[in-house]
Amino acid sequence: MLKIENLHVYYGGIHALQSISLQVPEGKIISLLGANGAGKSTTLRTIMGIVKPSEGRIEFLGESLVGLKSFQVVMKGIALAPEGRRVFTNLTVTENLALGAYIRSEKAQIREDIEEIYSLFPRLKEREKQSAGTLSGGEQQMLALGRALMSKPKLLMIDEPSLGLAPVLSQGVLSKLKELNQTRGQTILLIEQNARAALSIADYAYILETGIVKLEGPAAELASDDAVRRTYLGIH
């Protein structure tokens, strides 16, 4: 579904991505792992057209995404729940969700989908008229996720959903992702610091290190690989 080939990105004088290649097949959960500064977020930001690549190809359903602006990438069917959640704290919970559906026009259907997000995350329903700034970190993450789903993306990309969340909450968010994948066949590209948790729900994973793909493979294989266990899972 998504195919990235030889992607190079310079970011403030730094060669942030050095020939990254990866693929996201339809219906799968793919995870990008790696330390801070490895280039995970830059990869997603480049896909979304926020950062311009200096070289390389990004193809989504056979069409090139290079040179498109964020809103055009969204219209092609990709949504990103960005790092740090970035919910609109000056809008209500419902307005945040409605904005997520900006590219769509069927009003009744959008209203139904908002209700569906609320049934997925009942905590949000209780706060639908509150400003998003009053939500807790975990609730904001649910909102960011719900907001990204509102565009009905073919590919959902999520950057660090468990950042700053209590382990119990981050486990909850990840199991929601698995549920979306299994019940709706939602294709997901997931960045996660918690490599063990990510590998537990992903089908396939790429491990990035200072702008290159260091290692890749089926999630189950990586999870049992000795070197991976030592370096990324903290198991000795």
Partner 1 sequence: MTIESFLQNLSNGISLGALYALISIGYTMVYGILRLINFAHGDLVMLGAYFAFYGVAMFVLPWWLAFPLAILFTTLIGIVIEKAAYKPLREFPRINLFAAAVAVAFLLENLAIVIFGGRPKAFARPAFLDQLLKIGNISFVSYTPVIIITTIVLCTVLILIISRTKAGIAMRALSKDIETTGLMGVDTNRIIMFAFMLGSALAAAGGILWAIKFPQINPLMGVMPGLKAFIAAVLGGIGNVWGAMIGGLLLGVVEIMLVAFFPQLAGYRDAFAYTILIVLLLFRPNGIMGEVQAEKV
Check residue 52 for interaction with partner 1 (CB under 8 A). Answer: no
CA distance 88 to 75: 20
**Can you give the C-alpha Rg of the chain in angstroms?**
17
Cβ atoms of residues 167 and 136 within 8 Å: no
Based on CB atoms, which residue is closest to partner 1, 64 or 72? 72
User: Binding to partner 1 by residue 151, rule CB under 8 A?
Assistant: yes
Report how far residue 211's alpha carbon sits from residue 42's, in angstroms, rounded to the nearest whole number.
9
What do you get for the CA distance between the two ends of the chain, in Å?
A: 36
Q: Please, are residues 19 and 7 in contact by the beta-carbon 8 Å criterion?
A: yes
Nearer to partner 1, 155 or 205 (CB): 155
Size of the site for partner 1 (CB under 8 A): 25
Report the residue from 6, 54, 64, 89 that binds partner 1 according to the rule CB under 8 A.
Answer: 89
Residue 69 in the binding site for partner 1 (CB under 8 A):
yes
Nearer residue to partner 1 within complex by CB, 87 or 201: 87
Residues 4-33 that bind partner 1 (CB under 8 A): none
Binding flag, residue 90, partner 1 (CB under 8 A): yes
Fill in the DSSP letter of residue 134. Answer: G
Q: Does 95 bind partner 1 (CB under 8 A)?
A: yes
The reply on whether position 79 binds partner 1 by CB under 8 A is yes
Question: Is position 51 an interface residue for partner 1 (rule: CB under 8 A)?
Answer: no
User: Cβ 43 to partner 1, closest distance in Å?
Assistant: 15
Query: Which helix (H) or strand (E) is 208 found in, with range?
Result: strand 204-209
**Residues near 194 by beta carbon (within 8 Å), at least 6 away in sequence:** 162, 170
**Cα-based angle 166, 187, 63 (whole degrees, multiple of 5):** 130
Q: In 107-235, which ranges are continuous DSSP H helix? A: 107-120, 122-126, 137-149, 167-184, 195-201, 219-224, 226-232
Residue 136 CB, nearest approach to partner 1 (Å) = 17
Which lies closer to partner 1 via its Cβ, residue 90 or residue 224? 90
CB nearer partner 1, residue 55 or residue 88: 88
Q: Which of 98, 143, 180, 199 binds partner 1 (CB under 8 A)?
A: 98
Rounded CA separation 142/155 (Å): 17
The residues that touch partner 1, with contacts defined as CB under 8 A, are: 48, 50, 69-71, 74-75, 79-80, 82, 86, 88-91, 95, 98-100, 102-103, 131, 133, 147, 151
